[in-house]
Amino acid sequence: MTDLWEIAGWALACSVPVVAAGAIAIRLARSWSLAVSMVALVLIPTIATFTGVLGASGFMITETFQQIAVVLAIVSTVTIPTAVMLARYQARRTVWERQIRDSERAAEQSRRRLVAFVSHDLRTPLAGIRAVSEAIADGVVTDDDVRSHAKHIEQESIRLAEMVDDLFEMSKINAGAAAPIHELVALDEVVDDVLAAHRIPARRAGVALHAELPDRAVHVLGSDRALVRVLSNLVANATAHTPEGGSVTLTVGSEGPQAWVRVDDTGVGIDEDDLPRVFDVAYRGSNGRVPRPDSTLPNGSGLGLAIAAGLVQAHGGSVTAQNLTTGARFEVRLPLPC
């Protein structure tokens, strides 16, 4: 019995310092990677077992000790690579989980901003429609004014419909369902459609629309409807921030593996602090729209730039904003077909 206690004492005396030193090393070495930490966690008990057996054998290299040493070496050979692989898997999973949490947190914040933004902007046209409708129903409005008030209701209804369309498009983008149709699209035809749609509103706002197209058509893969929506939103934004007598110019070109479309205006420009956030959902910069005497001109939902950025991203491209000497430039870049 005395020999057994003596063996246990030597085993503890030799193994405990190894375990304590390993624990201190792991606690102090916070810069270690997860893989190195896992290897250390495998080696510490293995070495502690080895030293404990060595102490229990009286530091004599007996046949039993040799057998145990061989077993420990084999166990280490198997467990250390396994620990490294598990550590790498755990590290990747940790990164993925962090990215998912960050993405979910950003999506929730974006959703809350969007809800607050929409609830505010929907209230204005709804209040106008309600007020005019009540006035007509109460007989306060004369027969001569009914037509003009009905026109006001029509304009506000159109504005509400456009906001609902924008919300639907934004929801598809946020859900990742805005993947474009992969068909060959000529950018000059897209520009022609955009000019046709915006020529009359721009003329009423006193803004001239121009286009500069290359001699050879530039084609990209995507959806012509989505690209028309992108450039329409950019042109509408440029027109809204360009004073009467100014101009908006669309230019198409290509460079290397990319095609580009630029929308340049001679408007009020963008505050430098606003440039990094102009494509954020529900973000409004400090530069307001140019006042228009014609109240029937479209005001937009405020989601146009965010929708444009989402659709361009779905096409594998990018959109940027920068200030020019006079006005601003929005540039859309799309990959050319291989």
pLDDT digits over 174-213, tens only?
666 565 567 899 999 999 999 988 888 889 889 999 999 9
Measured CA to CA, the distance from residue 329 to residue 270 in angstroms comes to 10
Q: What is the pLDDT of residues 215-229, one digit of tens each?
A: 898 999 988 888 888
Residue 95 C-alpha from the chain's centroid: 18
Q: Which of 48-57, 216-225, 262-271 has the lowest mean pLDDT?
A: 48-57
Measured CA to CA, the distance from residue 194 to residue 172 in angstroms comes to 22
Give the global pTM.
0.59
296 touches 156 (CB < 8 A): no
Residue that the structure tokens 């990215």 belong to? 99
Measured CA to CA, the distance from residue 28 to residue 42 in angstroms comes to 18
Q: What pLDDT does 77 receive?
A: 72
* CA angle 152–234–281, rounded 5-degree value: 80
SS3 state of residue 268: coil
Residues near 277 by beta carbon (within 8 Å), at least 6 away in sequence: 283, 285
Tell me which amino acid residue 85 is. Answer: M
Confidence of residue 287 (pLDDT cuts 50, 70, 90): low
The encoded tokens of residue 95 equal: 């990164």
331 touches 318 (CB < 8 A): no
Angle between helices 63-137 and 143-174 (to 10 degrees): 170
Average pLDDT over residues 74-85: 71
First and final C-alpha spacing in the chain: 83
Measured CA to CA, the distance from residue 298 to residue 202 in angstroms comes to 10
